[in-house]
């Protein structure tokens, strides 16, 4: 039976709406953790895009979509007796308090680097991990994964101090990649290219660059300029497949000077 409902500002009302949907909506009722996990990833990237675009209105909407997935997954878990929303909320509060002893206890930490080192020490002790890298999900995009692993290694002292110190390693990897290219060894080419990317991430990280953001920015720039090529060719009544490289390059250079 249809039931009228008005939105409120209450978190508990959101949880109740989700519970109703799980009972009354055929689509919501059939979903599982597995069936909606990729949708949650999509929402995360839409939130990131809103942040990159400095669009607070869109960010508010996308954060709501992310919160929906937290509530959705938790409702699925509650129904199967795995855990409740109260347990989720308690767990994150408990972790934040435990991981910030410099705020909620007597530990001294006057700078962000000390906070990070303390955080990693506590994680190792709590989870009885054998490696500081165990906390980096293997499902992360490769650039983010590389930067996070490097940051975690740096937190325990395995790091150069400056990007200048890391630069020779990048040059070394570039030369090894060139040699692999010249040998036309596909396996070595792939391996050495990965080493180049990893070293480049390291240099960028030490220079204070978020490498995923940097590449995303370049991708957007390429998209904008290539779409300009398509637009101008259409104005000239030239099909993209019939355009010469010289024609496209001329438009590209014009677009490059404009953006």
Q: What is the mean predicted confidence (pLDDT) over 103-115? A: 86
User: Which residues neighbour 35 within 8 Å (Cβ) at sequence distance 6 or greater?
Assistant: none
pLDDT at 96 over 90: yes
Q: Which of 170, 221, 172, 222 is nearest to 197 (CA)?
A: 170
Asked if residues 15 and 71 have their Cβ atoms less than 8 Å apart, the reply is yes
pTM above 0.85, yes or no: no
Tally the residues of the chain: 259
pLDDT at 156 over 90: no
Give pLDDT tens digits for 21-47: 999 999 999 999 999 999 999 999 999
Q: What is the mean predicted confidence (pLDDT) over 60-72? A: 97
Give the per-residue pLDDT at 1.
Answer: 53
Banded model confidence at residue 108, pLDDT cuts 50, 70, 90: confident
Give pLDDT tens digits for 202-249: 999 999 999 999 999 999 999 999 999 999 999 999 999 999 999 999
pLDDT at 195 over 90: yes
Banded model confidence at residue 110, pLDDT cuts 50, 70, 90: confident
Phi, psi (deg, nearest 5) at residue 156: -110, 15
Give the per-residue pLDDT at 56.
Answer: 97
Domain spans, the chain = 11-91, 100-157, 213-258
- The CATH homologous superfamily for domain 11-91 is MazG-like (1.10.287.1080)
Banded model confidence at residue 150, pLDDT cuts 50, 70, 90: very high
Q: What is the mean predicted confidence (pLDDT) over 171-184? A: 96
Q: What is the C-alpha to C-alpha distance for residues 45 and 212, in angstroms, rounded to an integer?
A: 12
Q: What is the CA radius of gyration of the chain?
A: 25
On the CB side of 93, how many CA atoms lie within 13 Å of its CA?
6
Give the per-residue pLDDT at 174.
Answer: 96
3-state secondary structure of 239: coil
CB-count exposure of residue 120 (10 Å: 0-12, 13-18, 19+):
buried
């Amino acid at each position: 039976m249809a039931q009228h409902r008005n939105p409120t500002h209450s978190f508990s009302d959101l949880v109740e709406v989700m519970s109703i949907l799980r009972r009354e909506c055929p689509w919501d009722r059939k979903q599982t953790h597995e069936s909606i996990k990729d949708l949650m990833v999509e929402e995360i990237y839409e939130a990131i895009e809103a942040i990159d675009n400095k669009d607070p209105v869109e960010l508010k909407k996308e954060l709501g979509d992310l919160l929906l997935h937290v509530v959705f997954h938790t409702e699925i878990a509650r129904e199967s007796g795995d855990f409740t929303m109260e347990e989720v909320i308690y767990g994150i509060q408990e972790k934040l308090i435990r991981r910030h002893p410099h705020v909620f206890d007597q530990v001294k930490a006057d700078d962000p680097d000390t906070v990070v080192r303390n955080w990693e020490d506590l994680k190792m002790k709590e989870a009885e991990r054998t490696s500081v890298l165990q906390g980096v999900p293997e499902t992360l995009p490769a650039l983010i994964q590389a930067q996070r692993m490097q940051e975690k290694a740096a937190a325990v002292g395995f790091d150069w101090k400056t990007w200048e110190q890391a630069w020779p390693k990048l040059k070394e990897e570039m030369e090894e990649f060139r040699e692999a290219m010249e040998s036309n060894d596909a396996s070595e080419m792939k391996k050495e290219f990965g080493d180049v990317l990893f070293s480049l991430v390291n240099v960028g990280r030490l220079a204070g660059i978020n490498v995923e953001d940097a590449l995303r920015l370049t991708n957007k720039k390429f998209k904008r300029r290539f779409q300009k090529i398509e637009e101008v060719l259409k104005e000239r009544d030239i099909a993209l497949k019939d355009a010469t490289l010289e024609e496209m390059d001329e438009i590209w250079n014009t677009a490059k000077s404009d953006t």
